[in-house]
């Protein structure tokens, strides 16, 4: 089988496509014939050793795949050969075949194409957990989403709308904001690309305040970080919840007096740890997400498809801040 390999620390240009022996499933695993692999920001970080998980090299990037079950390992009884599934792997997905722990394999509905399936679980899983378990978002509340046209951001826009919130999409270009509005956002705000000096940060805070209105945002979904975080926090509502999702623009430092003045909470979100610590609640979340998908209320926006041989370009595209919605690597 062919696999994309990270053999040394570095950017997408360090990745190589090589032939590897086909894997055989161990006990409790299934072998998947991979059809597509979703690209996520953690892939950008992992190949540079900048992510919280540092797999031993050589490894294939790619944390989520769709495909067909090719073989069952010992003790796996709830899945069938030939079944269409999603697999959550953390890494290893940019390969033609892959073993996945059976507990991390989810059957998909017939009407879900493989590219959408590969773009589904990490973004919607993260955003659903964030809005439901961590923020307890309620109908009628205002939700401000930063990076609203990115993978997790666009999922948060759709899920916020499905939950009955008023959604304000914030992104760095009008094209990105327009995409978020097509996916359900009620209003949008274009912010500059940064970095920001003191006056720039003040102007950015003013932009967010104007977009959220005098009552502010009850929930802020921050998938961007950097200087955007504090500027957005300044527009939070009394007793609002600020969700810490990710830091493509850098890890921010927040003056804690803001939390006192706003009576607000800063809430960490670590979806991967949640799935391991509370698999039952995660299964219920996934069931709800599949229901929303089948009802047509959520749908991944796959904007770019790259073949396996160009998987490095797919990761570079995400790292360049140009990606909209989801980028997927396909096997054929
Ligand atoms: N907490 C969790 O459990 C969890 C789970 C999955 C992902 N994440 C994190 O969530 C973040 C977003 O992941 P994603 O897969 O949705 O990524 P993505 O599709 O690339 O979206 C990230 C967005 O960040 C913005 N951005 C700002 N500065 C950037 C920069 N220097 N380079 C690239 N993008 C920049 C871009 O929007 P604008 O141009 O509009 O600003 C972009 O759309 C990452 O930090 C990832 O690690 C966290």
**Looking at residue 287, what is its pLDDT?**
97
**Looking at residue 5, what is its pLDDT?**
98
Adjacency order of strands within the sheet including 217-222? 187-190, 166-171, 142-146, 217-222, 236-244, 265-268
**Looking at residue 93, what is its pLDDT?**
98
Q: Identify the structural domains of the chain with CATH numbers, from first to last.
A: 2-120+300-330 (3.90.180.10), 123-272 (3.40.50.720)
Spans in the chain with pLDDT lower than 70: none
Q: How far is the CA of 111 from the centre of ligand 1 (A)?
A: 28
Q: Which residues contact 329 (CB under 8 A, 6 or more apart)?
A: 4, 36, 37, 39, 62, 94, 305, 306, 307, 308, 310, 311, 314
243 lines ligand 1 (CB under 6 A): no
Q: How far is the CA of 100 from the centre of ligand 1 (A)?
A: 25
**Looking at residue 195, what is its pLDDT?**
85
DSSP string spanning 189-203?
EE-------HHHHHH
Among 67, 76, 70, 65, CA closest to 26 = 76
172 lines ligand 1 (CB under 6 A): yes
Q: Is 239 left (phi over 0), alpha (psi -120 to 50) or beta?
A: left
275 lines ligand 1 (CB under 6 A): no
**Looking at residue 194, what is its pLDDT?**
83
pTM for the whole structure: 0.96
């Amino acid at each position: 089988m062919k696999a994309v390999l990270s053999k040394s620390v570095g950017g997408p240009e360090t990745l190589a496509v090589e032939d590897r022996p086909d894997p055989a499933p161990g006990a409790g695993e299934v072998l998947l014939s991979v059809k597509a692999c979703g690209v996520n920001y953690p892939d950008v970080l992992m190949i540079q050793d900048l992510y919280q998980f540092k797999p031993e090299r050589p490894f294939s990037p790619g944390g989520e795949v769709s495909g067909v079950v090719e073989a069952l390992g010992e003790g796996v009884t709830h899945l069938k050969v030939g079944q269409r599934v999603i697999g959550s792997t953390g890494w290893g997905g940019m390969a033609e075949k892959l073993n996945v722990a059976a507990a991390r394999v989810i059957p998909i509905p017939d009407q879900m194409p493989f590219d959408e399936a590969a773009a589904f679980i990490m973004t919607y899983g993260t955003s659903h957990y964030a809005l439901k378990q961590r923020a307890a978002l309620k109908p009628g509340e205002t939700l401000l989403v930063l990076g609203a046209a990115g993978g997790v951001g666009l999922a948060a826009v759709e899920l916020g709308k499905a939950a009955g919130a008023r959604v304000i999409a914030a992104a760095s270009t009008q094209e990105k904001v327009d995409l978020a509005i097509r996916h359900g956002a009620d209003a949008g705000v274009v912010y500059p690309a940064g970095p920001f000096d003191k006056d720039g940060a003040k102007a950015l805070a003013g932009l967010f305040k104007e977009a959220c209105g005098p009552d502010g945002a009850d929930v802020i979904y921050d998938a961007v970080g950097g200087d955007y975080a504090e500027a957005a926090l300044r527009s939070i509502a009394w007793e609002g919840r600020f969700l810490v999702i990710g830091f493509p623009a850098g890890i921010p430092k927040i003056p804690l007096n803001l939390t006192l003045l706003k009576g607000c909470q800063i809430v960490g979100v670590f979806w991967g740890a949640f799935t391991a610590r509370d698999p039952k609640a995660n299964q219920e979340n996934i069931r709800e997400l599949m229901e929303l998908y089948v009802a047509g209320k959520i749908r991944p926006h796959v904007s770019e498809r790259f073949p396996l041989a160009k998987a490095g370009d797919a990761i570079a595209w995400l790292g360049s801040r140009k990606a909209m919605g989801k980028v997927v690597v396909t096997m054929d």
